[in-house]
Structure 1
Amino acid sequence: MKQVFPVMGVFLLGAAFAAPAAALEPFVANYQVFKDGKVLGEATMQVVHGDGTRWRVDLGMRGTRGLVGLAGVNAQQSTVFDTVGNAYRPLSQSTVRKAVFMGKEMTGTYDWSTRTARWTGDVKKNRRSPVPLKDGDMSGLLINLAIVRDAQPGQTLHYRFVDNGRARDYQYAVAPELEGTVVDGMSFSAMRVSRVQSGGNDETVVWVVDGVPTPVRILQRDNGEDTFDLRLVDYKGAQ
């Protein structure tokens, strides 16, 4: 049975991070999407259990401030994956972005029998070639789940991002101390996990609270400016 856990109640669990990683469970999480401190839209992240070891994670963002919001926010991403031990192994990935006058759709297939991944659709020419796969490779959505699973104060996390026709090595630094963070007007203690720059101008910061299966906040920046800032409002988890 699933039950709604209010954000205020969940945040009281953020005092310690010594417990082992919890098993993957289905959930639905609702976020507000901010940019430059203003509400730009809403987002929903969910994890759905399929057959056996197969799962799916989705992230949908919806603009609520007219055409500007729609152009910047409306997008849907999804990754089908299975679990191999403690690892999340991607099987397929899709991205749909909707904008005024122009939209984009991309589909990726992770073929572990040939250990290659390939994307089709609205993909740049230099990203259409097969990408060699290595054990542990994940899509961007799966890395968010892995951070929640793996983060401990003071640790450094290493992941290989394989998504949208490219592969990158990502390194995340976990803050040694919990920090106060405000989400939806409420204060709580969370763990800040920052992706260390490894070329390029994009930056990602994720905040994690013990006992919550999804990040309580995800901040994406490009060229020093906020692209979007997802802040958790509530979630429904398995019980």
Structure 2
Amino acid sequence: MNAVSLIAALLLSVGLPPLPSLPPLPSAQAETLEPFVATYDAWYEGKPAGDATMRLARLDGPQWQLDLDIHGRRGLVGFARLNIGQSTVFNTEAAGDRYRPLSQSTVRKALFFGRKITGTYDWVAGAAQWTGDVSKRRRDPVPLREGDMSALLINLAIIRDAVPGKTLQYRFVDNGRARDHVYRVSEEPEIIEVGELSYSALRVSRVEDDDDETIVWVADGVPTPVRILQRDEDGDGVDLRLIEYQGAE
């Protein structure tokens, strides 16, 4: 995303003096991926609720693995929604500059129950299919098109593709369903503060037909989203705020 489904909060004033920034990493528009580990504060409904880690690791050959693990604090509202792990293994060689998913998994943990869903993208057969704790209506194979991505990979693609004023179009194929996702990139960057850090970041907003909204903030030179916000008609939902990142082997 250079740096995936899953965040924003209050927009802070533009013009604040810049705070200390993190060591520079390769440009977000770099042609090749670089491994990284990023740490986030996780908020839920506007309140601190846990932490999260996003990790991009190189596997064999052209294969990579992108993970997002969110850990909610027990006893807090929204714990089950926050305590979740997502992972996508993908390939960069066969599809050139595209990220082609090979497998995907989602694990949701709670005190009295847990769920695990696993998906396989079979590009030879041209279909993806999910097993595990997935509803019957989402067990059927989903036809694949070139360029299809999981939720996590779309986050990574936004980092790669964000240009001021651009409209981004992706096809989401995840958890037994396919949807077209359209994002609009802001014309100008805005100042985003996270803890003691300050970023000049582009706002990338997903265009929705209903009251749900997803916003990703992208800063030049940062390989992972600075912030990811999921918001509905009731207000802010899950909100991930970057507090640290570093390169990884």
Q: TM-score, normalised by structure 1?
A: 0.89
- The letter for the 2-side match of 1:55 is W
C-alpha contact (below 8 Å) 1:28/1:45 kept by paired residues: yes
Q: How many Å apart are 1:160 and its aligned residue?
A: 0.3
Asked whether the equivalents of residues 70 and 98 of structure 1 are also in contact (C-alpha less than 8 Å), the reply is no
Opposite residue 8 of structure 1, the aligned amino acid is P
Matched to 2:46, the amino acid is: G
Identity %: 61
**Alignment partner of 1:147: what SS?**
helix
Q: 5 Å matches for 1:68-107?
A: 68=77, 70-83=79-92, 84-107=95-118
CA distance in 1, matches of 2:78, 2:130: 27
Partner of 1:3: none
Q: Take 1:114 and 1:211, find their aligned partners in 2: how far apart are those partners? A: 38
Q: Residues 215-230 of structure 1 correspond to what in structure 2 (within 5 A)?
A: 215-230=225-240
Residues 236, 207 of structure 1: alpha-carbon distance in 2 compared, 3 angstrom cutoff = same
1:123 aligns with 2:150: no
Q: Larger strand proportion, structure 1 or 2?
A: 1
Extract unaligned runs of 5+ from structure 2.
1-18
Within a 5 Å distance, the mapping from 1:203-222 to structure 2 comes to 203-222=213-232
> In structure 2, what is the Cα distance between the partners aligned to 1:185 and 1:65?
26
Superposition RMSD in Å: 2.1
Give 1:189-200 correspondences, 5 Å limit.
Answer: 189-197=200-208, 199-200=209-210
Confirm or deny: 8 A CA contact 1:143 1:161 kept in the other structure. yes
Matched, 1:172 2:169: no
- The structure in which a higher percent of residues are helix is 1
Q: Is the 8 A contact 1:90 1:138 kept in 2?
A: yes
Structure 2 letter corresponding to 1:66: G
Asked if structure 1 preserves the Cα contact closer than 8 Å seen for 2:164 and 2:202, the reply is: yes
Match of 2:63 among 54, 58, 63: 54
- Aligned residue in 2 for 1:139: 150
Matched residues, number: 228
CA distance in 2, matches of 1:56, 1:123: 22
Paired residue for 1:4? none
What residue ranges of structure 1 are gaps of 5+ in the alignment? 1-6
Q: 1:207 & 1:180 partners in 2: Cα distance?
A: 10
Name which of 154, 163, 173 aligns with 2:165.
154
Q: Is the 8 A contact 1:10 1:211 kept in 2?
A: no
Are 2:145 and 1:163 aligned?
no
Q: Deviations over 1:163-210 (max 9, x none)?
A: 00000000000000011112114333110000001x454321000000
Q: 1:48 to 1:148 in 2, by over 3 A?
A: same
The residue identity in structure 2 corresponding to 1:59 is L
* Residues 21, 198 of structure 2: 8 Å contact kept: no
Q: 1:114 to 1:201 in 2, by over 3 A?
A: farther
Q: Secondary structure of the residue that 1:219 maps to in structure 2?
A: strand
Q: Which amino acid aligns with 1:56?
A: Q
Secondary structure in structure 2 of the residue aligned to 1:8:
coil
How far, CA to CA, are the matches of 2:169 and 2:30 in structure 1? 17
With over 3 angstroms needed to count, the CA separation of the structure-2 counterparts of 1:129 and 1:184, relative to structure 1, is same
Answer 1 or 2: higher relative contact order, Cα 8 Å, separation at least 6.
2
Q: With structure 2 as the length reference, what TM-score do the two structures score? A: 0.85
Give yes or no for contact 2:29–2:159 (8 Å, CA) kept in 1: no
* Residue number in structure 1 paired with 2:8: none
CA apart distance, 1:124: 1.4
